[in-house]
Amino acid sequence: MEILVCMRRVPDTSENEIELNVAGNDIERDELVYSVNEADNYAVEEALQIRDRVGGNVTVVTVGGEDDEEVLRRELAMGANQAVLISDEEFSGSDGRGIATILKDFVQRGNYDLVLTGVQADDGAAQVGGMLAAMLDYPFASLVNSITVDGEKLKVSREIEGGNRELNEIDLPCVLSIQTGINEPRYVGMRGIRQVASVPISLLGASDLGVEKTAVGEVAAKVRRLDYFVPAPSKGAEMLHGRREENAHKVLELIAARGGLK
């Protein structure tokens, strides 16, 4: 099975403290550490496991720049067969739809049976996967937490409310967005990355893909982020400022008053 995983390099939320910069127009990016988006990493692991079960090939692709090579390499170290970096000045400022357009043109050049993305990245939009599927006119399923290959079809389950799972059958080729926790990704260490240090990463630009210029980039973006800000705190909680003992006492009084101390 030919599997493509679309991924993205993002600031690692667990190893960074996200704060506004001094100017107040962006987050402080000086000392951020970046890594592959967590959900995308789960998607790559899932792709590798499917490949190891039924045979095939796993390609990882990202739209970005030089800095993104390091995450592509990490996924190569994890076991992906090929890595592709799509980069062009024309693409900068693209919104989610623009990115999906670029990826659509890439997918159409290839012959992929299955396209995976992570459910969402740091901007929480959860959109590229669904848009890509619609542009390609492939069936789509989001929040996928298990995949079984069944001949020319897949059985996928989706995460829905209450911890329940929605079981679907979906035709190939299709696009799936993968939820975290679907598997246990294998570890990639420094050694693994060094071993793939000289594996070539394909570099493709706008003209290689035949991307329509009016469909991408800042000009084409229908959605623009204007700024970052931290909202002024609303009334919020009544904070207790006493010593620990006093606070505990107060909390328990409040609980008991609401019938919570049986």
Partner 1 sequence: MARIFSYIVHRGGIVDDSAAELAAVARRIDPAGPPTAIVTGWGADLDAVCNSLLSPYGEVWKVANESLAYPNAELVRQTLVKVLPPNPILLVPHDHFGIDLSAGLSIKLNAAFVSDVLGIDGIDGDSLRMVRQEFGGQVSAHVRCDISSGAVINVRPGAFKPEQVTPISSVVIDKSSAVGPLTARRRYLETIVAEAGDVDITRHNVLVSIGRGMQEKDKVFLAEELAEVLGAAVSCSRPVVDAKWMEKSRQVGSSGKTVKPKVYLACGISGAFQHLAGIKGNPFLIAINKNPKAPIFQVADVGVVDDVLEFLPELTNKAREMRGVAAK
Partner 2 sequence: MVGFYSSLLSSEWLVPGRNLFLTIHVLGIVCFAYIVAKRVVPLVRAQGDPRFDHPWTRLGRVLKFWLGQWKHPRYKFAGTIHILIFAGFILLAARAFSVLIVGVSENFVMPGLSGRTGYIYNLVTDYASTVVFLCMVVAGVRRLVFKPARYAVPAKYGKSHTPDAVFLLGLIAILMVADSLFAASNVAGHAQRGQPAEALATLSLPWMLQILIGSMPLATLWVLNVTAYLVHELTFYFLLCYRPFGIQFHVETSLFSIYFAKLERGRLKPVRWNVPDEHLDLVKSFGVKTFEDFTWKHMLDFYSCADCGRCADNCPANAAGRPLAPRFLTIKARDYAFRHYPVLGRANNGKPLIGNIYSEDEIWSCTTCGACEEECPLLVEYIDKIVDLRRGMIDDGNVPQSLQKPLKALESRGNPYGRMEKKRADWANAAEFQRSCSVKIFDGKSSAGILYFVDSITSYDDRMQSIGRSTSRILTHIGGGFGILGAAERDSGHEVRRFGEEMLFMALRDHNTDAIKASGVQRIVTADPHAYNALKHDYKDVPPVEHISQVIAREVKGGNIRFHRVENEDNVYTYHDPCYLGRHNRIYEDPRAVLDAIPGLKRVEMKRSRDRSFCCGGGGLMLFYEPKEEQRMGVLRVRMAAEAGANVIVTACPFCLVNIEDAIKVAGLEGEMSATDLTELVDQHLTREGCPEKAKELETTTCGG
Residue 190 vs 239, nearer CB to partner 2: 190
Q: Would you say 146 and 156 are in contact if contact means Cβ atoms under 8 Å apart?
A: yes
Whole-number Å distance between alpha carbons of 143 and 129? 11
Contact 139, 171 (CB under 8 A): yes
Among the residue ranges 28-36, 117-125, 134-142, 172-180, the one whose residues contact partner 2 (CB under 8 A): 28-36
Q: Give whichever of 139 and 192 is closer to partner 1, judged by the CB atom.
A: 139
CB count within 10 Å of CB 115 equals 29
> In the complex with partner 1, which residue's Cβ is closer, 20 or 149?
20
Applying CB under 8 A, which part among 10-18, 133-141, 172-180, 224-232 lies near partner 2? 10-18
96 binds, among partner 1, partner 2, none (CB under 5 to 8 A by kind): partner 1
Query: Smallest distance, Å, CB 260 to partner 2?
Result: 24
Pick between residue 190 and residue 226 the one whose CB is nearest to partner 2: 190
194 near partner 2 (CB under 8 A): yes
Quote the least distance from Cβ 221 to partner 1, whole Å: 8
C-alpha to C-alpha distance for 170 and 165, rounded to whole angstroms: 15
Nearest-5° Cα angle at 178, 191 to 146: 100
Using CB under 8 A as the binding rule, whether residue 247 contacts partner 2 is answered as: no
Binder of residue 182, out of partner 2, partner 1, none (CB less than 5 to 8 A by kind): none
Tokens of 100: 């999906």
Dist. CA 41–CA 39, nearest whole Å: 5
165 binds partner 2 (CB under 8 A): no
**Considering the complex, what minimum distance in angstroms separates the CB of residue 63 from partner 1?**
16
Residue ranges in 68-127 that form contacts with partner 2 under rule CB under 8 A: 78-79
| 240 token code pair | 């207790």
Q: Rounded to whole angstroms, how far apart are CA atoms 39 and 116?
A: 10
Q: How far is CA 100 from CA 15, 45, 218, in A?
A: 28, 22, 14
Does the footprint of partner 2 cover residue 129 (CB under 8 A)?
no
Q: Evaluate whether 173 touches 114 at the Cβ level (below 8 Å).
A: yes
Name the residues that contact partner 2, by CB under 8 A.
Answer: 12, 14-17, 31, 33, 35, 78-79, 184-192, 194-195
